């Protein structure tokens, strides 16, 4: 991501269950989703957003191998 003054940290959430999806829903309320929660090339569901306070969040939901 390009540097923006005052935006020098991001929080990463990872998990194998539904918890990260719930966090994504609550954090995105009033914020801006920059990458929708969807399956990514590495096989997990992932997203990123900026919450209503300007904090950048990255969420990854680990998928079990089939």
Which of 6-10, 20-24, 34-38, 62-66 bottoms out in mean pLDDT, i.e. has the lowest? 6-10
- What is the fold of 10-61? 2,3-Dihydroxybiphenyl 1,2-Dioxygenase; domain 1 (3.10.180)
* 5-12 long-range Cβ contacts below 8 angstroms, 24+ apart: 6/54, 7/54, 7/56, 9/55, 9/56, 10/55, 10/56, 10/57, 10/58, 11/55, 11/56, 11/57, 11/58, 12/57, 12/58, 12/59, 12/60
* C-alpha–C-alpha distance, residues 46 and 41, integer Å: 10
Query: pLDDT > 90: what percent of the chain?
Result: 30
* pLDDT surpasses 70 at 1: no
- pLDDT at 15 (0 to 100): 80
Question: Which single residue is written with the structure tokens 């966090």?
Answer: 23
Per-residue pLDDT of 13-38, as tens digits, reads 788 777 778 888 999 999 999 999 99
- pLDDT at 8 (0 to 100): 61
């Amino acid at each position: 991501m390009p540097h923006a003054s005052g935006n020098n940290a991001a929080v990463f959430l990872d998990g194998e269950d539904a918890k990260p999806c719930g966090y994504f829903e609550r954090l995105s309320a009033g914020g801006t989703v920059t990458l929708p929660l969807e399956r990514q090339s590495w096989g997990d569901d992932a997203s990123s957003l900026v919450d209503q306070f300007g904090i950048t969040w990255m969420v990854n939901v680990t998928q079990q191998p089939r």
